[in-house]
Amino acid sequence: MRDVFELKEVSKVFSHNTVLDDVSLTFKRGELHALVGENGAGKSTLIKIISGVYRADRGRLFLNGEPVQFMNPSDAQAAGISTLFQEIQEIPEMTVAENIFLRREPRYPGTFLVDRKKLRQSAKELMERLGLKIDTSAKMRELPVSTRKMVEIARAVSQKASVVIMDEPTANLNAEEMQALFQMIDDLKKEEVTIIYISHRMNEVFSLADRVSVLRDGKLIATMPGEECNEERLIPLMIGRELNSLYPARNASRGDAVLKVKDLSLGEHFGNVSFTLHKGEVLGFAGLEASGASAVTKTLFGLCGHPTGEVVCGGRKLNIKNPAESIRNGIAFLPEDRKTQGLFLNQNLLTNITAGALDSLFSKRAILHNRFERSQSGEVVRRLGVKTQGLHEHPDELSGGNQQKVLLGRWIIGSHKVLILEEPTRGVDVGAKSEIYRQINSLAEQGLAIILFSTEMPELLGMCDRVLVFSGGALTASLPKEEATQELVLKYALERHVS
Amino acid sequence: MKKIEISKLLPVAMLIALIIVGSQLSDSFFSIGNFANIIQYAVESALIGIGMTFVLMVGGIDLSVGSVLAFSSVVSAKMALSNVALPLIFLTVIAIGLACGLVNGFLVTRFNIEPFMATLAMMMIMRAVTFLFTGGGPLTGTVGDSFKQIIKGRTLGMQNGIWYVIAAFLLALLVLNRTRFGRHVHAVGGGEETSKLFGVNADKIKIAVYIISAVLAALSGLFIAARIGIGEPRSGQGYEMTAITICVIGGISMTGGKGSILGTFVGTMVVCMIKNLMNLMNINTDAQPIVTGAVILITSLIVSRELVNKRKKLVKEV
Amino acid sequence: MAVLKSILPKALFKKRPYIREYKNEIAISLLIIVVFVVSQFLSPVFLSADNLLNLLRQTAYTAIAAIGMYFVILIGGIDLSIGATVQIVGMVSIMMMVDGVSIGVTIAAALAVGLLVGLLNGIIVTYGRLQPFVVTLVTRQIMQGIVLVASGGASISGDVPDTFMQIGAGYIGFIPVPVVVMFVIAVAAFFMMRKTTFGRRLYITGSNQTAAYYSGTNVRRVKVLAYVLCALFATVSGLLSVARIGAFQPTTTHGGAAGMELNAIAAVVVGGASLSGGKGSIVGTLLGAVLYGILSNLFPLIGISSYIQQLIQGFIILMAVLISSKGKILRVLRKEGAKVA
């Protein structure tokens, strides 16, 4: 097997974060090379550099021994590298056939006119060859997620690429589709195509990979043959420390019930969800895509309109309608995407921190109390240890972890009863992670009731007093800390899972 | 069963309703002569509407069409007044369109200016250039008969204007649906980032649609000059709104990626019939924009409502 | 301005970080001084008291409308209908004055018209989820139609009481009334942005409306109010200008009242705002209007024809938008990088 693609000493820095640090890797012809690592380890950045979305700050790429430079994705494609990103790349308003052959539309010989018959024909043939039953004249937007993913994979196959990058390709597939995908992967390997494969599903990695590379904090930690891999060996390499040290101990005692939810339902998203949240408790919400876990938290904060059922917070029955109302009732919410949903990037830290309590704390008859704003937000910055030059700084000048602390600070101010956290440590480096965990603990110790929604299982297991597992829009299990294990959570998460 | 989309039926329903209402309101409305008249006067609207369709398809907008039309109109009138040969006039007009479209396209793609702002500024600039060219008033004199025949003449027994409308729509249909370029226009409008990932040169496509829009506007200017026989620097005012009305009625999405030339055709017919009907009913021309304005607002509100309902997102958008 | 910003020493910002917040305003002020100094060499009448007062008065009309426009641009919208609003308000008030209606009622009616227009724009844009420029282009077209129909396309004049004329043509001390109104409005707006929760909500809505919604702001209400304020300020500007002449002249072309929206947009954008929202300040807008006022005052003085003025105006708008969008390009790049980080 010859090397087909090689990275030499590649580095990438975004504003303050070194996302890739001196990574050198070789990919061999016809191998499936899996990349594993925690969220934020640099896997996505690495494949975006290979596929031409980003350019490396330092380092060089070699294709078949020749140095290459990709200015944009089409350069990479022209060189024979196709990429399946996590988000499906598609034009929803166009048909399956048009999507597959976009920019490669067959034309009547000697004319400018697209041969639509041949276009449909080729698409149909491709599907037959791959053993897929997909209506190629349907518009992409009319198809379910898994079918669209298969179309995308078919497109990559049809391009006759020499390198195919797959980022979590099985995320939305059911068992049958997964089998079809694995079959396609086998066929590709027989044709000497190199596959760079990213997945969180360890079993998949073990059974498919010829070689596995582990990334951590932007560095390449190890590369090993697939058959030598097992969980015991990989996970310590990925995390880089004992699991326990990341999650500090908490001294909170469970107090009175703060939030009582009874038979909460919202259309097709979830139904009959009931649970009770206590003072000082950290309650985990777990579930796969579309399980209802995140829909419940969003609904409680008033983002999804009017649910049915009963929600009692601090003894008052709530009429959930919008975030403003929920905040007034003592429910605070840290959204999953801090850049698009949380921060005001071009406003100063003071504005960012006080935005959640303008009416309740910082104004009298609509007139702002500027000095109080200043002292309070200064206090928050000190308490959370935000690394900053001062309150006049804008969040886009801070690192991810500090940005998250600023957002957390918004909800420390004021007298909230319930704090909902969605993916509080997504895209945050390990150091900042443990600091955020400490802050969550200290908030719980002060009597705040916390709901933690996360897709990172270790985080849920390490932080929560209890984990609620959702599947197919229903609450399928409530596991106390002592009983909760990865296997058990996954079992309940798959109980009613349909994709 | 699939739910019927109101927005798809809307254009045709409006056309039918208009024909029925029209024939009730005015005796002279429902006649072949009047319909031929409507189409013959629809040339400019049709061309600009088609151009706007291309631009809207990629998620842009071109507010400069009226001014480009005016400039091309006074330039071609000036050339006709000095008895320049027709082919040369045609070439000049196309060159004007090309240049204006290129500027618009560059402002939008290379300089990253919001399309409405870039073309609004171009609208001002080209109008000023037009007035500078004529010195303020209209250019008058006698133009050659062959120049007038461009629009007033007949070919195979039918007014040239009608031929132009037919040719323009057929050509646009072919380009937008049956060429790679046309498919890529759809792709860029339907998902710019994705089409870039697929290797479509989105900037090039965008520049091209602004050129198409401006060239068609410039051709309209030539036709207007041929119609009125003078160079009127005030011509073409409000044409951008006519074009937007046509597209909105024709179901072209203002955010790109959705629409068809057939929609534009129906939209053109609806707009020109409303205008014709209002003229037949002696409605004050000043009042007509009020009616068309209301039509745009109501149509786009219906479409936007349907779009929001269709999306069924979990989190309500702000 | 970008050039000027780069001339200002970087060290200045480092030592006094708060100066950075005002770098735009500082840059425009410097530019105004330069233009001012150059102007007096270009035209001998430029510095005369008469011309300066005239300049201030002209600036006042633009500045008042521009401050209103600033609110709308701040929240990422645009209002292309203010020229038509000015027209319709002018027509209504002159009609009422000629009919002998009292001044108080006339002004109240004019403001009510402005309020209605603003509400309509705001509600259609936010609740109808349509693009602001399309909606306001259409309301502009409708209002122009109404003005032409109601006035028959002819100017309206007649017995307009002197007290009404005083609003536009009068002086307080030696300062023209519109200039005084401009200062009052600017100070009020400055105070509102600095010291009220509504001002803060305008900022955060413009900066990131999803985040504003998630932190408890009624984003829709804030947006509608921005359009209302814009239309009201345009109304005030319209009243001041129509009261000066005491007669109403409908115009369909750009230039005159119909081109007001472009003047206002130019002033706002020159003042450091970005069409994508969340940036700029009242002081910057005011300075933008002054700069714009000086230029449009200077051009006729040095014998530039009105068509060329319009041409230059177009280029100024392009330049201003270009500079503000340059910043945007940088931001987009940074955001893209941050997605993974």
User: Stretch C299-320: mean pLDDT, rounded?
Assistant: 85
Would you state the pLDDT for residue C329?
47
Q: Which domain holds residue C167?
A: 49-323
- In sequence order, the β-bridge partners of residue A165 are A83, A196
User: Stretch A211-234: mean pLDDT, rounded?
Assistant: 87
**Dihedral pair phi/psi, residue C25, rounded to 5°:** -60, -40
Q: Using the beta-carbon criterion (under 8 Å), do A114 and B184 form an inter-chain contact?
A: no
Per-residue confidence at B258, pLDDT binned at 50, 70, 90? confident
Per-residue confidence at C325, pLDDT binned at 50, 70, 90? low
This prediction has a pTM of 0.88
- Same domain, yes or no: A278 and A227: no
Q: Which value does ipTM take for this structure?
A: 0.88
Q: Looking at beta carbons, which residues of chain B come within 8 Å of A97?
A: none
Q: Which domain holds residue B220?
A: 8-19+30-306
In a domain, A481, yes or no: yes
In a domain, B313, yes or no: no
Would you say residue C258 has pLDDT above 90?
Answer: no
Would you state the pLDDT for residue A52?
87
In a domain, B299, yes or no: yes
Q: Report the C-alpha gap between A391 and A349 in whole angstroms.
A: 5
Per-residue confidence at B107, pLDDT binned at 50, 70, 90? very high
Per-residue confidence at A402, pLDDT binned at 50, 70, 90? confident
- Same domain, yes or no: A80 and A119: yes
Q: Give just the sign of the alpha carbon dihedral A142, A144, A147, A148.
A: positive
In a domain, A143, yes or no: yes
Would you say residue A412 has pLDDT above 80?
Answer: yes
| Cβ atoms within 10 Å of C26's Cβ, excluding its own | 16
Would you say residue A179 has pLDDT above 90?
Answer: no
Q: Looking at beta carbons, which residues of chain A come within 8 Å of C215?
A: 323, 327, 355-356, 410
Q: Report the C-alpha gap between A117 and A125 in whole angstroms.
A: 12
Q: Give just the sign of the alpha carbon dihedral B287, B292, B293, B299.
A: positive
In a domain, B210, yes or no: yes
Return the residue matching tokens 């409005």: C185
DSSP state of A395: G
In a domain, B317, yes or no: no
- Same domain, yes or no: A326 and A431: yes
Contact A273, A261 (CB under 8 A): yes
C6: distance to nearest CA of chain A, Å?
20
Would you say residue C255 has pLDDT above 70?
Answer: no
Domain CATH for A296: 3.40.50.300
- Please, which contacts does C153-158 make with residues 24 or more away whose CB atoms are closer than 8 Å? C153/B286, C153/C250, C154/C250, C155/C247, C155/C248, C155/C249, C155/C250, C156/C91, C156/C94, C156/C95, C156/C98, C156/C247, C156/C248, C157/C94, C157/C98, C157/C246, C157/C247, C157/C248, C158/C94, C158/C97, C158/C98, C158/C247
A119: distance to nearest CA of chain C, Å?
35
Q: Looking at beta carbons, which residues of chain A come within 8 Å of B184?
A: 102-103
Does the beta carbon of B114 lie under 8 angstroms from any beta carbon of chain C?
yes
Among A267-281, A314-328, C249-263, the least confident range: C249-263
Among candidate residues A190, A208, A242, the one where a domain is terminated? A242
In a domain, B147, yes or no: yes
Would you say residue C63 has pLDDT above 90?
Answer: yes
B95: distance to nearest CA of chain A, Å?
23
* Nearest chain B alpha carbon to A268: B314
Would you state the pLDDT for residue C337?
37
Nearest-CB residue to B125 (from C138, C252, C311)? C311
Would you state the pLDDT for residue A280?
93
- Same domain, yes or no: A476 and A338: yes
Q: How many domains does chain C have?
A: 1
Q: How many domains does chain B have?
A: 1
| Edge-to-edge strands, sheet with A17-28 | A17-28, A3-14, A58-63, A66-68
Locate A352 and state its tokens: 């960012």
Q: Which domain holds residue A380?
A: 245-494
Would you state the pLDDT for residue C341?
27
- Same domain, yes or no: A228 and A97: yes
Per-residue confidence at C1, pLDDT binned at 50, 70, 90? very low
- In sequence order, the β-bridge partners of residue A211 are A33, A225
In a domain, C37, yes or no: no
Q: Using the beta-carbon criterion (under 8 Å), do A344 and C210 form an inter-chain contact?
A: no
In a domain, B106, yes or no: yes
Contact A298, B314 (CB under 8 A): yes
Would you state the pLDDT for residue C295?
87
Q: Report the C-alpha gap between B300 and A426 in whole angstroms.
A: 39
Would you state the pLDDT for residue C334?
43
* Contact residues for B86 (Cβ-Cβ < 8 A; gap 6+): B146, B147, B150
Would you say residue A414 has pLDDT above 70?
Answer: yes
In a domain, C18, yes or no: no
Domain CATH for C318: 1.10.3470
Q: Report the C-alpha gap between C147 and C248 in whole angstroms.
A: 11
Locate C131 and state its tokens: 């693009």
Among candidate residues A242, A258, A279, the one where a domain is terminated? A242
Does the beta carbon of C315 lie under 8 angstroms from any beta carbon of chain B?
yes
Q: Express each pLDDT in B16-51 by its tens digit.
A: 999 999 999 888 888 988 999 899 899 999 999 999
Element (H, E) at C291: helix C282-301
| % chain A with pLDDT above 70 | 96
Q: Express each pLDDT in C120-159 by its tens digit.
A: 999 999 999 999 999 999 999 999 999 999 998 888 988 8
Return the residue matching tokens 């639509």: A116
Rg of chain C (C-alpha set) = 20
Go through chain A and tell me how many residues it has: 499
Does the beta carbon of A94 lie under 8 angstroms from any beta carbon of chain B?
yes
Among candidate residues A222, A242, A262, the one where a domain is terminated? A242
User: Stretch B266-294: mean pLDDT, rounded?
Assistant: 92
Would you state the pLDDT for residue C18?
63
- Same domain, yes or no: A27 and A86: yes
Q: Using the beta-carbon criterion (under 8 Å), do B289 and C144 form an inter-chain contact?
A: yes
Would you say residue C331 has pLDDT above 50?
Answer: no
Q: Using the beta-carbon criterion (under 8 Å), do B199 and A298 form an inter-chain contact?
A: no
Q: Report the C-alpha gap between C311 and C313 in whole angstroms.
A: 5
Q: Express each pLDDT in A33-64 by its tens digit.
A: 999 887 678 888 899 899 888 888 999 999 98
- Same domain, yes or no: A320 and A353: yes
- Same domain, yes or no: A353 and A463: yes
Contact A205, A233 (CB under 8 A): no
Cβ-based contacts under 8 A for chains A and B: 77
- Same domain, yes or no: A280 and A234: no
- Same domain, yes or no: A391 and A266: yes
Does the beta carbon of C101 lie under 8 angstroms from any beta carbon of chain B?
no
Would you say residue C52 has pLDDT above 60?
Answer: yes
Does the beta carbon of A339 lie under 8 angstroms from any beta carbon of chain C?
yes
Burial bucket for residue C138 (CB in 10 Å: 0-12, 13-18, 19+):
buried
In a domain, C17, yes or no: no
Q: Express each pLDDT in A58-75 by its tens digit.
A: 999 999 888 998 888 888
Among A99-113, B167-181, C319-333, the least confident range: C319-333
> Which one-letter amino acid corresponds to residue B143?
V
> Which one-letter amino acid corresponds to residue B130?
T
B178: distance to nearest CA of chain C, Å?
30
Q: Report the C-alpha gap between B3 and B9 in whole angstroms.
A: 12
Would you state the pLDDT for residue A158?
87
Does the beta carbon of B303 lie under 8 angstroms from any beta carbon of chain C?
no
Would you state the pLDDT for residue A453?
94
Locate C86 and state its tokens: 């000015």
Per-residue confidence at C305, pLDDT binned at 50, 70, 90? confident
Locate A75 and state its tokens: 């350069």
In a domain, A499, yes or no: no
Helix, coil or strand: residue A272: strand
Q: What secondary structure does DSSP assign to A447-476, as a single string?
A: T-EEEEE-S-HHHHHHH-SEEEEEETTEEE
Would you say residue A191 has pLDDT above 90?
Answer: no
- Same domain, yes or no: A367 and A393: yes
Among A164-178, A397-411, B172-186, C295-309, the least confident range: A164-178
Q: Looking at beta carbons, which residues of chain C come within 8 Å of B132?
A: 305, 307-308, 311
In a domain, B261, yes or no: yes
Per-residue confidence at B6, pLDDT binned at 50, 70, 90? confident
User: Stretch A384-399: mean pLDDT, rounded?
Assistant: 85
Among A278-287, B155-164, B302-311, the least confident range: B302-311
Q: Express each pLDDT in C198-213 by its tens digit.
A: 999 999 999 999 999 9
- Same domain, yes or no: A313 and A453: yes
Does the beta carbon of B183 lie under 8 angstroms from any beta carbon of chain A?
yes
User: Stretch B215-232: mean pLDDT, rounded?
Assistant: 95
Q: How many domains does chain A have?
A: 2
Return the residue matching tokens 């506007």: B217
| % chain C with pLDDT above 90 | 52
User: Stretch B263-280: mean pLDDT, rounded?
Assistant: 94
Would you say residue B149 has pLDDT above 80?
Answer: yes
> What residues of chain A, 369 to 398, have a C-beta less than 8 Å from chain C?
370, 389-390, 392-393, 396
* Nearest chain B alpha carbon to A266: B314
In a domain, B48, yes or no: yes
- In sequence order, the β-bridge partners of residue A8 are A60
Q: Report the C-alpha gap between A246 and A463 in whole angstroms.
A: 10
Q: Report the C-alpha gap between A313 and A326 in whole angstroms.
A: 10
Would you say residue B1 has pLDDT above 70?
Answer: no
Q: Using the beta-carbon criterion (under 8 Å), do A105 and B194 form an inter-chain contact?
A: no
